[in-house]
Structure 1
Amino acid sequence: MIATSSELITVLRQYNPWWRNASASDLPSWRRRAFHGILTWMQEPPAPRALLLSGARQVGKTTLFLQVIQELIDNGVPPTKILYATFDHPLLKLLGLDGLIKLWREFEPESDGIEYLFLDEIQTVRDWQTWLKLQVDFEKKRRIAVTGSATPLVTEGQESGVGRWHTLRLSTLSFFEYLQLKQVNIPPLPEINSLARLFDWTPAQFATVSADAAPLVAHFHEYLLRGGFPQSVVMGSVTAAQKLLREDIVDKVLKRDMTALFGVRHILELEQVFLYLCLHGGGILDMQTLCGDLELKKPTVNNFINLLEATHLIYKLPPFGYGKEILRARYKVYLADAAISPSVLLKGNSLLEDPIALGIAVETAFFKHVFARYYSRSAGFSYWRGKSDREVDIVAEVEGRLTPFEVKYRSQHTGAGELKGLTQFCETRQAPRGYVITREMQDFSILTLEKEVNTRTGKAPIRIAKIPAPLACYWLGKTELDELPGD
């Protein structure tokens, strides 16, 4: 070992200030929604498993851990029963998991009662899967939470780890969380635990809420520019926020994590693929064109795209369908956050002056909100393409129920003539409800189409809820999941 035990424990004590009756410094009082889920799992786990918090770098995983630790101590847990370590630190990575526990127990002797372990970036440690499996199986007094910034933490070693950990996926900040962190004075808006509740509203309710919610529009546009990474939200200017996102988040993943975790050697080619996705985000990926433009082979590009998905920089959205319908179909790709593209492409505020780019940013932001809201329900997400190349941007499938979403972020009001793809999908798949995400606050209502579909209770007209994007993202990001979008 290149460091002595005393040098190692000095590092460990710096990460665990509560051992010397100090608290973690500069913890924000504001907490993400995921805080309560982590705390509940550590206090009263519903199953004998570890907790895996998975998400991109800089989305707030470490802060959440430290906030939960402080809450445990405030609730009476002895500080010496809590261990936090991050394997981003080279000495702790070298020490390994068993060495870490041994070192802890050399300086903080074991005693009766539950132990709480919080381990950051565990995927950088060798054989973490086997270690975690053994801990869950044989160390019943330990409650363990780990984080990872790459999907291999979930997929690699899945056979030995099945049933040993519960995954909580953390996206970038929702629009509601962004407003909270910015301490924006939010107008009094009604609570909506399911967007389906809007189908019961009166025209007067739509008019009142659209007027009350008007101040959200400017904040929503700034949210698209700054992004949902906590550090970028509190930066002094949009320019500084985008610079941080570009240099401190994206570059670190591309140039450090890809090499350290996956052994990628052709970083320049990887950057070119990512830049291409920034230019074409939200669209159906034409692999042949991409390969031709970048002069790369298809297996290489496929590998890079899978790695970008593994490190939570993109989402891949498959086509809707079954069997032969999707055998050779193409994926859509969304960036993990709407601000990534304008940050990487140095667009700054000019995004708001480009209707096409702004529409893609809104679609990206909305997809992230839908994905984050329903991910825990094992939802399936896809896009749909029907006859005459008519499309639906997003289809959520939860417990056998299909709910289509279309994003129409344009100045004019949205009528039935602009919703031919949504109408065709509802007809062919017998879906009585759909949603269109609009731009204008006044474009907020229920649109009843002339077409009818079969339901469990008989024939019913197709009804479309038109919801302004700021309101849709606000509600999806605020309330806990009580019901499905189509209920």
Structure 2
Amino acid sequence: MEDLIRFLNHWWREGRVREVLAKEYKRRYFEELKDLLDKKQIVVICGLRRTGKSTLMFQLIQHLIEKGVPPANILYFSFDKEVAGIKQILESYSRMVEKDYERERIFVFLDEIFKLENWHEELKVLYDNLPQVKFVVSGSASLKVEKEARKNLVGRAFYVEVKPLLLREFFELKFNKRLENVKLWEDKLRLHFPSFLRKAFPEVVDWDDIRAREYIRELVLDKVIFSDFPTTFEDVNVDLLRTLVDIFFSNPGMYLNIDSLARDLRKSKNDLIFHIRLLEFGYLIRTVSNYRGSKLSASRKLRRVYPYHPSLAYGMFKEVEESKLVECWVRSHLDAQHYWREAGKEVDFVHEGMPVEVKYKEKISSEDIKNTVEFLKKFKVRKACVVSKDDEREIRVDNMTIRVMPAWRFALQSAF
């Protein structure tokens, strides 16, 4: 283990983190995480694979070194390389660099910690007994966070979910410049928006489509399905997981009928529900429920299923319609949890009580906003948004305002 620790912590010898690891471009999460380094609590970085969690860790380590923290007071370990107890890792570290972690100020970065069984219990004990040690941990599956860490680390941790790239980040990585004046770059943003939908992972923004799809399929989807799940959970049927991924990704937004799906796949309902939950916990899918006027009354029936991000769907099925990818992306961008359907009328998403409809076309007609108007009247809401391909304007209906906005511009909005 000491050889691995020595290899992973090259800044002990070189005095800084290698640029290939602590990349120059910093995602929007960096400033938030940097501020959290001054807090006592554990920082838990979670999210889909390949979204840049490890890069953020290395950038934070370099930031600490630049602030004057001695390199030997910063320990990094990846459970992707080897699984060992946290206390065992600290003991090895202490012997190697002659640091007393029980008394000195130490920063400990533990990558992919969710692979360690009962990690939250050990971390809780260490946190309570080592107040001078700052722990920053990461992981790619959310079940362990939601069901175990939040319960065991209550009051002891901050959580930051790292998502695929925003359009702004995609642009800045691709063109190596800050997007400060949107008007100057409208043509490029419009032109590259379809590529952004398909390649929203930091490493592939400049890759050709074939290689990008291979990357997403092999290093994200296959890793989660065939490696992360079987090593973390019992009774995992990877063939069923892959079948469900094929079904859900080929038709983003499909209605989830558990009874029908169980019959078609010849699986029990409980088995099916368990594996669908796994896909949600692994950041591969999200479900949205039918809106009834409040979150408390949202219907559990007639849920719809979307890939967590359209790039995942594209990694599996290049023939998925662009309009479907846009709809999937809007759900992801908003983190929408509801849609609305009643008596044959439907609105794609309801975000904080406001209807958001996706009509990815050149020109929005009165027919396209009919259901949106129905929602506004029924729930006495005055504002709505329709996401188009190119159309941009405001439509007034009585005292209600429907804002029509191209998808690329919608992607740059901080509030709706």
Q: TM-score, normalised by structure 2?
A: 0.92
Q: Is the 8 Å Cα contact of residues 280 and 286 (structure 2) preserved in structure 1?
A: yes
Using the TM superposition, give the Cα deviation of residue 286 of structure 1 relative to its aligned residue in structure 2, in angstroms. 2.8
Q: 1:312 to 1:239 in 2, by over 3 A?
A: same
Q: Please list every run of 5 or more consecutive structure 1 residues that lacks an aligned counterpart in the other structure.
A: 1-7, 191-208, 352-356, 372-379, 451-460, 477-483
Q: Within 5 Å, which residues of 2 pair with 1:196-235?
A: 213-225=186-198, 227-235=199-207
**Aligned mates of 1:15, 1:268 — CA distance in 2:** 35
**Aligned mates of 2:180, 2:169 — CA distance in 1:** 16
- 1:183 correspondence with 2:175: yes
Q: 1:408 to 1:83 in 2, by over 3 A?
A: same
Per-residue Cα deviation, 1:222-256 (whole angstroms, up to 9, x for no partner): 1223x212222242x11111111112211111111
Counterpart of 1:273, as a letter, is L
Q: 1:40 — aligned with what? A: 35
Q: Is the 8 Å Cα contact of residues 232 and 242 (structure 1) preserved in structure 2?
A: no
**Aligned mates of 2:300, 2:121 — CA distance in 1:** 37
- 1:14 correspondence with 2:7: yes
Q: Within 5 Å, which residues of 2 pair with 1:257-336?
A: 257-321=228-292, 326-336=298-308
Q: 1:89 — aligned with what? A: 81
**Aligned mates of 1:130, 1:369 — CA distance in 2:** 33
Q: 1:416 — aligned with what? A: 366
Q: Within 5 Å, which residues of 2 pair with 1:430-441?
A: 430-440=380-390
Q: Is the 8 Å Cα contact of residues 327 and 358 (structure 2) preserved in structure 1?
A: yes
Using the TM superposition, give the Cα deviation of residue 55 of structure 1 relative to its aligned residue in structure 2, in angstroms. 0.4
RMSD: 2.2
Q: 2:128 — aligned with what? A: 137
Per-residue Cα deviation, 1:329-367 (whole angstroms, up to 9, x for no partner): 12222212212223212x2xx55xxxxx21110011122
Q: 2:71 — aligned with what? A: 79
Q: 1:220 to 1:300 in 2, by over 3 A?
A: same
Counterpart of 2:327, as a letter, is E
Sequence identity percentage: 26
Using the TM superposition, give the Cα deviation of residue 328 of structure 1 relative to its aligned residue in structure 2, in angstroms. 4.7
Q: 2:24 — aligned with what? A: 29
**Aligned mates of 1:246, 1:189 — CA distance in 2:** 35
- 1:383 correspondence with 2:339: yes
Q: 1:117 — aligned with what? A: 108
SS in 2 for 1:37: helix
Question: 2:393 pairs with 430, 445, 448, which one?
Answer: 445
Q: Is the 8 Å Cα contact of residues 104 and 132 (structure 2) preserved in structure 1?
A: yes
Q: TM-score, normalised by structure 1?
A: 0.79
Q: Is the 8 Å Cα contact of residues 105 and 132 (structure 2) preserved in structure 1?
A: yes
Question: 1:162 pairs with 154, 158, 182, which one?
Answer: 154
- 1:100 correspondence with 2:89: yes
Per-residue Cα deviation, 1:254-284 (whole angstroms, up to 9, x for no partner): 1111110113442112211111001221233
Q: Is the 8 Å Cα contact of residues 236 and 275 (structure 2) preserved in structure 1?
A: no
Counterpart of 1:106, as a letter, is R
Task: Identify the range of structure 1 (116-125 vs 154-163) with the bigger mean alpha-carbon deviation.
Answer: 154-163
**Aligned mates of 2:347, 2:96 — CA distance in 1:** 59
Counterpart of 1:263, as a letter, is E
Per-residue Cα deviation, 1:277-336 (whole angstroms, up to 9, x for no partner): 012212332333333333332222211110001111111222223599545512222212
User: Whose relative contact order is higher, 1 or 2, with alpha carbons under 8 Å and at least 6 apart?
Assistant: 1
Q: Is the 8 Å Cα contact of residues 176 and 475 (structure 1) preserved in structure 2?
A: no
Q: 1:359 — aligned with what? A: 323
- 1:59 correspondence with 2:31: no
Question: 1:250 pairs with 216, 221, 243, which one?
Answer: 221
**Aligned mates of 1:12, 1:188 — CA distance in 2:** 41
**Aligned mates of 2:289, 2:323 — CA distance in 1:** 20
Q: 1:375 — aligned with what? A: none
Counterpart of 1:19, as a letter, is W
Q: Is the 8 Å Cα contact of residues 436 and 465 (structure 1) preserved in structure 2?
A: yes
